[in-house]
Every structure is written in structure tokens, then in C-alpha cells.
Amino acid sequence: MSGHGEGRLSVKAYLALGSNLGDRLATLQRAVDLLAAGDGVEIVRCSRVYQTDPVGPPQPDYLNAVLEIATTLSPRALLERCLFVENEMGRVRAERWGPRTVDIDLLTYGRERVEEPGLSVPHPRMHERAFVLVPLAELDPDPPLPGGRHLGSLALPADGPAGIRIFAPPLCLLEPRLYSPPTVR
Ligand code: X6L
Ligand code: MG
Ligand code: MG
């Protein structure tokens, strides 16, 4: 939202970012910038960036982060924005669970639950993935989780999750609503 005349309520949503090919940190930053460049999405806060062991087939380590956004888009339109940015950044979908330049997943949309073809919110696997939960927990100690679960009820190792290291400070350090991306070329 910018200027007057846009009265639609915004919803707090969380997006998960991942990259394990190319200049991973620059890729995540560009994803943030492209997401913020379109109407109806404001970046509110960013987690730190983590380097994470790959889950699934053998492939390079990932960088992962989570964004809090304020959006006036519907869940479906927000999903489409995420996929558009992935495509804009040249993501090629090869093998399932394979390496990717950029991945943008819709984790939560307010407290809404959505079960539609191609769109499940909260993301049905998010509570199983430490590379999502660790950065998400920085932004929200009790985020909406699938099946009404809560973070405290998940079995997390007492000595901290394995295979997850802090890699970089947050991609944005600004106050809420002040993030303005560089002009997108
Ligand atoms: C058994 C078999 C248990 C497969 C889990 C988990 C598959 C997660 C895919 C799984 C399984 C995924 C990332 C990743 C992927 C990422 C890190 C996926 C999709 N994405 N590893 N692996 N970060 N660290 O963003 O999430 S592939
Ligand atoms: Mg993913
Ligand atoms: Mg994805």
C-alpha cells in the first residue's frame, strides 16, 4: 500500500526463502527486493540468514531466511507473486527436491487455513523443517502451524537443531513499513 485510497486491510504473512545455487546471498536479497517492488506486499521484518544442510537428495548447502510481510493480496495472488518472482529470477524446475537458485514458499497467511489445489496454508510441512522453524521463531515465538500445533510442542533437540548455522544478518534492518527496494531493472 502506498499513498491514499488503498483502504484494504493488510494481513500478516510469512514467506520462506531458500537458495543453493549461484550467489546465494545476492539471490535472497534480490528476491526480497522483487517481492517488495510489486503492489500489495510490504516487507515488515526479516530473519537472519542461515546456512543449512540440504534436506532431500545430495546437493549444495542452502541459505534460508524467513520474511514477515504485510499484504493486501489474497492467498492465491500472494502465491502467484511468489512464483512470478521465482520465474523472474530464472528458476528452472528440474528434479523434485533438487537444487534451485531461488525458492519462495508461502508459510502462513494471518490465521487463515486454505486447502485448495496447489495452495495449502499453513504450509503442510513447515513444522517438520528446522530450516524454516529456526528463522521463523526469530520473528514469531508462536506462529500459526498446520494442524493447530504450537512451536513449544514440537520435538526439537535440546542442544539446538543440527545443520543450521547463522550466515548473515537480516536482509533488511529497517523499521516496519520503511523498506523500499532499489529500482528493479
Ligand atoms: C524424507 C524425505 C524426509 C524427504 C524429508 C524434506 C524433502 C524437505 C523435501 C524430505 C524432504 C524437502 C530446502 C532443502 C529442499 C531448503 C534445506 C523440501 C524441498 N528445500 N534443504 N531441501 N533448505 N536445508 O530450503 O523442503 S527440497
Ligand atoms: Mg521450499
Ligand atoms: Mg517452493
Q: Which residue has the higher pLDDT, 17 or 155?
A: 17
Q: Is residue 151 part of a domain?
A: no
> Quick check: CB of 64 below 6 Å from ligand 1?
yes
Q: How far is CA 61 from CA 46, 56, 153, 158, in A?
A: 20, 11, 28, 23
Q: Is residue 74 part of a domain?
A: yes
Distance 17 CA to ligand 1 centre (A): 13
> Quick check: CB of 101 below 6 Å from ligand 1?
no
Residue 54, domain CATH: 3.30.70.560
Phi, psi of 20 (to 5 degrees): -140, 25
Distance 133 CA to ligand 2 centre (A): 12
The CA distance from 66 to 73, in Å, is 18
Domains held by the chain: number: 1
The answer, yes or no, to whether residue 2 has pLDDT greater than 50, is no
- Closest CA relative to residue 62, chosen from 141, 154, 134, 14: 134
**Are the C-beta atoms of 28 and 43 separated by less than 8 Å?**
no
Catalytic hit among 30, 45, 105, 129 = 105
Q: Is residue 56 part of a domain?
A: yes
Residue 103 appears among annotated catalytic residues: yes
Q: Is residue 8 part of a domain?
A: no
What domain range is 75 assigned to? 13-144+160-174
Question: pLDDT per residue over 36-85, tens digit each?
Answer: 999 999 999 999 999 999 999 999 999 999 999 999 999 999 999 999 99
Give per-residue burial for 169-179: e unless 16+ CB within 10 Å, then b. Answer: ebbbeeeeeeb
Q: Is residue 125 part of a domain?
A: yes
Rg (CA), the chain: 16
Q: Is residue 34 part of a domain?
A: yes
pLDDT averaged over every residue in the chain: 91
Q: Nearest ligand, CA of residue 64?
A: 1
Q: Is residue 39 part of a domain?
A: yes
Question: pLDDT per residue over 135-153, tens digit each?
Answer: 999 999 999 999 999 988 8
Q: Is residue 185 part of a domain?
A: no
Mean pLDDT over 110-126 rounds to: 97
